[in-house]
Structure 1
């Protein structure tokens, strides 16, 4: 989910008053379950706002249960915009299970769905979802305990939608950021298929300091003919302001959803579609986050399986920038 090195502390980018609110919320949490697996330390916590899953003490996913909002962490709702781009989604591949709620939401949103394949590396996540997040098996849902890149490379199936939301305690693993992985993913998409990726970047997308996101975007544009961006500003504000009561600029960083596809027949702009998606409230508000500006990526590298060292260099540059704009 977060393309950051482990030493970048996101919390320090909140206003001090808001940070106190978040610290008080975290201090009030009750630990329901904790386990150390081969991949992460997984903790399930609950507070007055809902139930959450942490990987290595970083929030990974959760379900909010509040008087003003019930459901996924708001950034997840942007995945549900997929039917606006392709109204004939029948088969979905989800890389990274989270709480499992996204899969059940898609079943409700698209009754004509034939199948959802979920790929999750850690079998304990599946057990936790069933026990603590009310995930129920369904004949249309198939769970594969496997490395996601290995699955993509070997599957014979074709999909109308691929969701990439893989997160470890330190970020989105590099092997899911490269041109080679995107090419592999493109081969499992149907002609009108979509890849939607949850990533992270500076809110000012065109900033010269947005090293990692711009390199990632350049990599996507090297593989896909079309890329559409949704910085999740509305969804994040709904969570932090309406639910948590935060008042100030949220953070220098934000989730950014990349919707990538090669089809020339899919719609070109959000304004071409005015209908609501059944089951998703306030769709128009989420659509307002569409990024319509041209993003200059000419001077940035493409991520490749061969240049992980260059990524580490850019991570250090991003960390330096964030420390400058958000001093301790």
Structure 2
């Protein structure tokens, strides 16, 4: 409790671990809230939770609440999962896929994800998982970063087409991207053009300083 109070004045780090995948991982009390950060960016809670909450708000909390199955690619500390369960009151099945076992350990220990009954976390590469799964989903949330880098496969046709295949009709993709330079903005503009008239694509720029959100609805 003392650390939580002090964090309103100065961030209080309580856990730090080097990770082969994400380099540095830190759990810190900041403004009375536990957050998970990598070396250069917020990974969960803090600004990232605000970003993904806005994305879910754009889709509509009431609509999300009626979905049956949600896939989260890139769990980190699980802030978007906490928004789904605690705020939206989503009762359906949530599948979270996270590459870094250290992140899963932190998410369970400090953020209590292993106490959520309708959540299943799978330690796997997102690309490999979407190739293997036979399930289909009403909402697919893509939030994959390695520090400030986004893997190239997220923007390649094969991955995009596979995600589209796994999405139910009238379902949504919520894709969080980082735009640090002109090349990133051009990449996002190209990504938007990958979807034909079977999809309704909306882009929300400057959700935070360097984030652009996509919401993509599958129409048929």
TM-score normalised over the length of structure 1: 0.56
How far, CA to CA, are the matches of 1:28 and 1:84 in structure 2?
34
The secondary structure found in structure 2 opposite 1:105 is: helix
Structure with higher Rg: it is 1
How far, CA to CA, are the matches of 1:84 and 1:218 in structure 2?
29
Would you tell me which structure has more strand in proportion to its own residues? 2
How far, CA to CA, are the matches of 1:218 and 1:142 in structure 2?
33
**What is the aligned partner in structure 1 of residue 29 from structure 2?**
46
CA separation of 1:29/1:107 partners in 2, compared to 1, >3 Å: closer, same or farther?
closer
How far, CA to CA, are the matches of 1:119 and 1:107 in structure 2?
17
The alpha-carbon deviation at position 182 of structure 1 amounts to 0.7
How far, CA to CA, are the matches of 1:101 and 1:58 in structure 2?
15
How far, CA to CA, are the matches of 1:112 and 1:165 in structure 2?
19
The secondary structure found in structure 2 opposite 1:151 is: helix
Please give the root-mean-square deviation of Cα atoms over the aligned residues, in Å: 2.7
The alpha-carbon deviation at position 83 of structure 1 amounts to 3.3
Task: Verify the 8 A CA contact 1:86 1:193 in the aligned structure 2.
Answer: no
After TM superposition, the structure 1 stretch with the greater mean CA deviation from structure 2, 37-46 or 108-117, is 108-117
1:229-268 deviation line (CA, Å, top 9, x unaligned): 12244xx4xxxxxxxxxxxxxxxx531110112306xxxx
Q: Which of 50, 63, 73 matches 1:74?
A: 50
How far, CA to CA, are the matches of 1:143 and 1:190 in structure 2?
21
Task: Verify the 8 A CA contact 1:179 1:223 in the aligned structure 2.
Answer: no
CA separation of 1:35/1:102 partners in 2, compared to 1, >3 Å: closer, same or farther?
same
CA separation of 1:85/1:192 partners in 2, compared to 1, >3 Å: closer, same or farther?
farther
The secondary structure found in structure 2 opposite 1:167 is: coil
- Unaligned 5+ segments in structure 2 are 1-6
Task: Verify the 8 A CA contact 1:53 1:61 in the aligned structure 2.
Answer: yes
1:77-122 deviation line (CA, Å, top 9, x unaligned): 1232233695641110001112213213213455564200000011
After TM superposition, the structure 1 stretch with the greater mean CA deviation from structure 2, 35-44 or 113-122, is 35-44
**What is the aligned partner in structure 2 of residue 184 from structure 1?**
162
Question: How many residues matched?
Answer: 208
